């Protein structure tokens, strides 16, 4: 049989895991892994946590050691941008004009930070965090700044805020909504995070709308809010979400719908093109709808399904969505998926004030999502509750003495 080539665009977590999964599945032909960053594929969570805080070496973030790619005969092209996809001719054109033919293509182009659309948004001293160089800049800022304004109280913003406070820097967090994380967690549990940051001395200001980044000598010197308030700062860190990198896919005429729309096997509207990770809006059989998940676990696990589908095998991605965060001394895992307002009850087991608890979001008596905060080795059981979707007894769920596999409603 003629030798084939599988091309992967995006050499980060999903891309590297895709290459790994193809080799593990026994694919021994050519794999070309194309990435526009210059570092070997790495995981991003440490960039807002341990690596940012100087508690972890950069190498620990690498998905594989540098030599792994050569050892597994993967043609890793770093610092290389894929400029176009020719679906009829089944080839990818690189920025230097080189063409790479493919038999199957995996898009793992991820997402990019949303920019703050206000005057001054691109001034020096305004930081966005996605890549290693961004992290290095923020790390340097945390060594010298005395006051930093954070625009956006999402996961990344709050993690960097925690790093700033632990470095003894004054931190002001500006959140447009009533509560940071309110849309993801709902007010009951989002409040736990808001209280924690306030207890650590963060000046948290909900309902704040930034209209301008102020400047002094060409550098960001603070922000102006819609109500006229001016807040001075040595630097501004913006974390207002991310947008999927769909440019290539869109230009190639693939179906786009909040990312590259793919089926449960991660196959796009073109049977030779697949997508995984942050860029993929995949049909999730458990939820019965398409979802795009911007989390580490999804980028880590989806590629194995894409790889099997690329090899013509039956494969479906139906894992319960999962993510984690670490802020100060709080470690948390969350499993499940709920759209804002998509629950009618929150059940807590444990000590909310002491930040050692489990929380469950219920709709119609069924667990739609669950979270463990500073309690470990329960995640599998929480996922099981979400997965099975049976009705539960809220009193048993709240009772720490009732095992989680015995909370079914009678």
End-to-end distance of the chain based on CA atoms, in angstroms? 59
Using CA of residue 187, residue 190, residue 192, residue 194, what is the dihedral sign? negative
Six-digit token pair at 399? 């009772």
How near is the Cβ of 33 to ligand FAD at its closest, in Å?
10
For ligand FAD, the closer CB: 82 or 169: 82
Cβ at position 217, least distance to ligand FAD in Å: 29
Angle of CA points 259, 265, 270, to nearest 5°: 60
How far is Cα 74 from Cα 115, in angstroms, rounded to an integer?
34
Structure-token match 């001719």, residue found: 89
Which residue lies nearer to ligand FAD by CB, 87 or 219?
Answer: 87
Q: Based on CB atoms, which residue is closest to ligand FAD, 371 or 407?
A: 371
Task: Specify whether the CB–CB gap between 188 and 226 falls below 8 A.
Answer: no
CA–CA gap between residue 256 and residue 201 (Å, rounded): 43
Nearer to ligand FAD, 12 or 141 (CB): 12
Nearer to ligand FAD among residue 208 and residue 327 (C-beta): 327
Minimum distance, C-beta of residue 383 to ligand FAD, in the bound complex (Å) = 14
- When the beta carbons of 36 and 175 are compared against ligand FAD, the nearer one is 36
CB of 51 to ligand FAD, least distance (A): 9
Least distance from ligand FAD to the Cβ atom of residue 287, Å? 18
* Per-residue tokens: 383: 């996922």
Provide, rounded to whole angstroms, the least separation between the CB of residue 371 and ligand FAD: 13
Angstrom distance (rounded) from CA 381 to CA 314: 27
Closest approach of Cβ 400 to ligand FAD, in Å? Answer: 26
Write out the two tokens for 56.
């972890």
Positions touching ligand FAD (CB under 6 A) are 9-15, 34-37, 44-45, 47-48, 81-82, 108-111, 129-130, 156, 245, 248, 277-278, 294-297, 299, 323-325
Cβ closer to ligand FAD: 33 or 397?
Answer: 33
Helix pair 132-144, 155-166: axis angle to 10 deg: 40
Length of the chain: 410
The rounded distance, in Å, linking the Cα atoms of 395 and 392 is 9
Query: CB–CB of 234/145 below 8 Å?
Result: yes
């Amino acid at each position: 049989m003629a030798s084939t080539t599988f091309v992967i665009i995006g050499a980060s977590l999903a891309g590297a895991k895709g290459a790994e999964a193809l080799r593990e599945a026994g694919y021994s032909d050519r794999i070309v892994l194309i990435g526009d960053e210059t570092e070997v594929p790495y995981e991003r969570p440490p960039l807002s946590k341990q690596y940012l805080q100087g508690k972890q070496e950069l190498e620990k973030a690498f998905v594989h050691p540098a030599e792994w790619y050569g050892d597994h005969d993967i043609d890793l092209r770093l610092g290389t941008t894929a400029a176009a996809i020719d679906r009829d001719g089944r080839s990818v054109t690189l920025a230097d004009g080189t063409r790479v033919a493919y038999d199957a293509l995996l898009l793992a182009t991820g997402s990019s930070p949303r920019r703050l659309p206000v005057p001054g948004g691109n001034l020096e001293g305004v930081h966005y965090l996605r890549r290693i160089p961004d992290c290095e800049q923020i790390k340097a800022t945390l060594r010298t700044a005395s006051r930093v304004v954070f625009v956006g109280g999402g996961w990344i913003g709050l993690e960097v805020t925690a790093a700033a406070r632990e470095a003894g820097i004054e931190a002001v967090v500006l959140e447009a909504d009533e509560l940071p994380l309110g849309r993801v967690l709902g007010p009951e549990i989002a409040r736990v995070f808001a209280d924690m940051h306030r207890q650590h001395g963060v000046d948290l200001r909900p309902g704040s709308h930034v209209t301008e980044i102020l400047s002094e000598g060409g550098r960001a010197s603070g922000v102006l809010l819609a109500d006229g308030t001016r807040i001075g700062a040595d630097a501004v860190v913006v974390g207002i979400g991310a947008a999927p990198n769909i440019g290539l896919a869109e230009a190639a005429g693939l179906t786009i719908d909040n990312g590259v729309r793919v089926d449960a096997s991660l196959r796009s509207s073109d049977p030779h093109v697949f997508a995984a990770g942050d860029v993929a809006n995949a049909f999730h059989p458990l939820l019965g709808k398409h979802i795009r998940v911007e989390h580490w676990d999804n980028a880590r696990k989806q590629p194995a399904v894409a790889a099997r589908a690329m090899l013509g095998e039956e494969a479906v991605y139906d894992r319960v969505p999962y993510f984690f965060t670490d802020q100060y001394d709080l470690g948390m895992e969350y499993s499940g998926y709920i759209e804002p307002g998509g629950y009618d009850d929150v059940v807590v087991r444990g000590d909310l004030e002491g930040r050692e608890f489990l929380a469950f979001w219920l709709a119609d008596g069924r667990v739609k999502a669950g979270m463990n905060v500073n309690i470990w080795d329960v995640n599998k059981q929480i996922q099981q509750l979400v997965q099975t979707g049976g009705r539960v007894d809220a009193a048993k769920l709240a009772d720490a003495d009732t095992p989680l596999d015995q909370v079914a409603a009678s």
